Amino acid sequence: MNLSDSVWYNKAMDKEIKLIALDLDGTLLNSSKEISKENRLAIDAARQKGVHVVLTTGRPLIAIQPFLKTLEMLDFEDFSITFNGGLVQRNTGQILSKKSFTHDEILEIKELTTKLGIPCDVLSEEKVYMTKSDVVSQYDTLNKLLTFIKVDFDQVTLDVVYNKIVSCTDKELLDAQLSKIPESYFEEFEIFKTQAKLLEFMPKGINKAYGLTQLTNQLNLGAENVMAMGDEANDLSMISWAGYGVAMANAVPAVKEEARIISDLTNDQHAVAHMIEKYVL
């Protein structure tokens, strides 16, 4: 399916959209990492109609606070899916659903990244434990709002919640080493790129579709009531799951293959606003 604004129909698309799930980078945010006026106004109009708008991201809640503030989505009845589905939260901070790694799983992934010669940063809530590796992590250049702690791996204690692991380095190195990961690791964990130079590890079965399922169950909604928009591999699950799965024009090919709707606009052309106006407003 490669036609502009093309749609393949299914019965779910007869249902009213009551929740819009939005990825951030490459989707809601433009190349300057900002929410355009067009996107903001469309989101506000959808919310005025009673539609939930949910930021669905790999980041922790603290790292998306500026965007929630811009969208005025900081109330008790506002929700976010963080850590790629590992946490479902009210935007006031209350956790509704949580799934994290065990220490043994963290150890297993650390051994893998060491063999591959790529960084291994362990995220626990708003803290990032940057464990020592042969290649210096670049993750601290992406998320300025997080607290970065440089440690030996054995200094990462047992009494923290392990939300996810990231490896952030040059795209060429990451792509070369990604192809060397044994299939057994993909069977045991969720492993995907979320940006050109960012590889993420999550507990098995934890993805954006999982997080949205937890939230929609609490809101008495179904997948058929959800429009999900994204562009990268970590958006695949929710785009495939949602009744209205939307790929940006700038989405990777795998996302376009799963999408029921492909926008003919990119994240720099206010694609989110266009989709909301066309299917919600």
Domain boundary (162, 177, 203) is at 203
With respect to residue 4, please indicate whether it lies within any of the assigned structural domains: no
Q: What is the span of the domain harbouring residue 147?
A: 103-203
pLDDT at 46: 97
Q: What is the mean pLDDT of residues 236-247?
A: 96
DSSP per residue over 214-254, as a string? HHHHHTT--GGGEEEEE-SGGGHHHHHHSSEEEE-TTS-HH
Q: What is the mean pLDDT of residues 19-44?
A: 97
Q: What is the mean pLDDT of residues 81-89?
A: 95
With respect to residue 20, please indicate whether it lies within any of the assigned structural domains: yes
| Model confidence band, residue 10 (pLDDT cutoffs 50, 70, 90) | low
**Active site residues per annotation:** 23
Residues 123, 83 contacting (CB under 8 angstroms):
yes
Distance CA(56)–CA(81), nearest Å, equals 5
- Find the CATH number of the domain harbouring 255: 3.40.50.1000
Domain identity same for 198 and 109: yes
pLDDT tens column, 140-193: 998 888 999 998 888 887 778 899 999 999 999 999 999 999 999 999 999 999
With respect to residue 1, please indicate whether it lies within any of the assigned structural domains: no
Domain identity same for 23 and 149: no
Domain identity same for 89 and 225: yes
- Please check the confidence at residue 4 and state whether its pLDDT lies above 60: no
Antiparallel, parallel or unpaired: β 198-203 and 164-168: antiparallel
| Model confidence band, residue 7 (pLDDT cutoffs 50, 70, 90) | low
Percent of the chain's residues with pLDDT above 70:
95
pLDDT at 244: 96
pLDDT greater at residue 196 or residue 18 = 18
pLDDT at 145: 85
Residue 34 CB contacts under 8 Å (≥ 6 apart), including other chains: none
With respect to residue 5, please indicate whether it lies within any of the assigned structural domains: no
For the chain, the domain total comes to 2
Domain boundary (163, 178, 203) is at 203
Domain boundary (180, 203, 226) is at 203
